[in-house]
């Protein structure tokens, strides 16, 4: 691996670094490259085709023209913003020193600042066809197929796993069986939820603690692999889940801390005031993400024998079914938010 990374760094006219540290990532390979006076982030795109990397690169360039805070992307010696070696694609960016927060102890001022940043992204216009749109029908076909493959291959996957992984695999299987009926209802109607009919806007797709770099003076957003046009309520609710959850599990399944959510939404509305309709749709998104959305990435990884995502599963089936049992209570909270919206 070191020789491969040296070859990549050579494309940027960089010598052998004093240290290379592989960072935690659920999808790609990410490395912190350290020199005596400078540090970089080197990213290897593990499962994204070249045409998508080109779109990601173009989108980041557009964001920089709007002075949106993202780390500088380093061009290689050919002037390109990504490098291809042995059918692998890499990019190099400036490392941003930042404060790290634990999910259970995210400060409210940070969440307000994060809300500001997401709203700012949602106001930026991109050229037509520059970003792909989220397709609910195709997502539903994919998730349905993944659920079927997981069930068919469960015994083989289960057989080679360690004890802890087996427990989590069993929980996942139980969850899929328990939620199958509701998921089928959603699949049979591509407009099952009202948010699915809304005009999409540019969204980040993984507005999470891992991707927000707080320098105190600024807040940077990284990892644009999932940039896409999506309904506004979809991204706001998913961001609440991963930033304002109680830190017990996967942000698509976790209970939301209302104080944290209020701080985030206050920050968001300073830039982009919400409508009553968008706020009401957030409850739909919470339910949809539990029954459908989170299964795509999770099952795709597990079927490929990559069990890292299982660490994000809750400890019990009851916890995994939180939104199915508590959605009405959440709607009451959202009613309070909606009552303050002018439209």
Mean pLDDT, range 2-18, rounded to an integer:
90
Q: What's residue 179's pLDDT?
A: 97
For 274-331, write each residue's pLDDT tens digit: 999 999 999 999 999 999 999 999 999 999 988 989 999 999 999 999 999 999 999 9
Q: Where are the domains of the chain?
A: 2-94, 103-338
Average pLDDT (96-116) is 94
Are 2-94 and 103-338 in the same CATH fold?
no
What whole-number distance in Å separates Cα of residue 284 and Cα of residue 242? 16
CA distance 304 to 208: 24
Measured distance CA(220)–CA(96) in Å, rounded: 8
The owner of tokens 């360039």 is: 61
pLDDT tops 90 at residue 341: no
Is the pLDDT reported for residue 102 higher than 80?
Answer: yes
Span of 126-130, 202-206, 208-212, 229-233 with lowest mean pLDDT: 126-130
CA distances 77 to 41, 80, 122, Å, are 17, 7, 34
pTM of the predicted model over 0.85: yes
Asked if residue 105 has pLDDT above 90, the reply is no
Nearest-5° angle of CA 303, CA 307, CA 311?
Answer: 135
Q: Which residues pair with 45 in a beta bridge?
A: 89
CATH architecture of 2-94: 2-Layer Sandwich (3.30)
CATH 3.90.1200.10, domain 103-338, yes or no: yes
325: three-class secondary structure by DSSP = helix
Local confidence band at 104 (pLDDT 50, 70, 90 cut-offs): confident
- Rounded to an integer, what distance in angstroms lies between the CA atom of residue 330 and that of residue 305? 35
Mean per-residue pLDDT over the chain, rounded: 94
Helix (H, G, I), strand (E, B) or coil at 192: coil
> pLDDT at residue 218 above 70?
yes
Q: Are 77 and 13 in contact (CB under 8 A)?
A: yes
Question: Which parts of the chain fold into alpha helices (H)?
Answer: 2-10, 50-65, 108-122, 136-159, 163-187, 232-244, 258-271, 276-288, 294-303, 317-320, 322-338
H/E stretch holding 18 reads none
Could you give the CA distance from residue 246 to residue 312 in angstroms, rounded to a whole number? 13
Residue range 143-187, pLDDT digits in tens: 999 999 999 999 999 998 999 999 999 999 999 999 999 999 999
Query: What is the total residue count of the chain?
Result: 343
Of 255, 206, 205, the closest CA to residue 228 belongs to: 205
Report pLDDT for 340. Answer: 78
Q: How confident is the model at residue 25 (pLDDT cuts 50, 70, 90)?
A: confident
CA distances from 288 to 86, 234, 295, 322 (A): 39, 9, 11, 12
Statement: residue 248 has pLDDT above 80: no
Q: The tokens 């003076």 sit on which residue?
A: 217
Residue 129 confidence class, pLDDT cut points 50, 70, 90: confident
Question: How does residue 2 score in pLDDT terms, banded at 50, 70 and 90?
Answer: low
The pairing of beta strand 39-45 with beta strand 88-94: antiparallel
| pLDDT of 1 | 62
Q: What percent of the chain has pLDDT over 90?
A: 85
Neighbour tally for 151: CB within 10 Å? 14
């Amino acid at each position: 691996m070191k020789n491969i990374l040296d070859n990549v760094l050579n494309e940027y006219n960089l010598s052998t670094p004093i240290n290379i540290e592989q960072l935690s990532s659920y999808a790609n390979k990410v490395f912190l490259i350290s020199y005596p006076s400078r540090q970089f982030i080197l990213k290897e795109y593990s499962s994204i085709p070249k045409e998508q990397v080109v779109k990601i690169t173009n989108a980041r360039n557009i964001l920089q023209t709007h002075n949106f805070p993202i780390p500088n992307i380093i061009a290689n010696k050919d002037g390109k913003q990504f490098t291809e070696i042995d059918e692998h694609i890499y990019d190099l960016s400036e490392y941003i020193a930042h404060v790290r927060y634990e999910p259970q102890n995210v400060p409210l001022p940070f969440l307000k600042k994060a809300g500001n940043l997401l709203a700012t992204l949602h106001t930026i216009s991109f050229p037509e066809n520059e970003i792909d749109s989220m397709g609910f029908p195709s997502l539903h076909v994919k998730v349905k197929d993944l659920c079927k493959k997981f069930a068919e291959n469960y015994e083989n996957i289960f057989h080679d796993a360690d004890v802890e992984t087996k427990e989590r695999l069993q929980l996942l299987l139980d969850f899929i069986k328990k939620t199958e009926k509701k998921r089928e209802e959603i699949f049979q109607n591509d407009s099952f939820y009202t948010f699915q009919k809304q005009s999409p806007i540019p969204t980040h797709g993984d507005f999470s603690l891992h991707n927000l770099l707080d320098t105190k003076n600024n807040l940077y957003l990284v990892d644009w692999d999932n940039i896409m046009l999506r309904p506004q309520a979809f991204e706001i609710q998913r961001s609440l889940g991963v930033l304002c959850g109680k830190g017990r599990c996967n942000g698509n399944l976790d209970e939301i801390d209302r104080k944290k959510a209020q701080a985030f939404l206050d920050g968001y509305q300073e830039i982009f005031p919400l409508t009553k309709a968008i706020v009401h749709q957030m409850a739909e998104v919470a339910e949809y993400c539990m029954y459908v959305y989170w299964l795509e990435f999770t099952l795709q990884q597990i079927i490929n024998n990559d069990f890292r995502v299982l660490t994000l599963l809750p400890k019990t089936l009851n916890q995994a079914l939180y939104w199915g049992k508590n959605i009405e209570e959440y709607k009451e909270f959202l009613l309070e938010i909606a009552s303050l919206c002018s439209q």
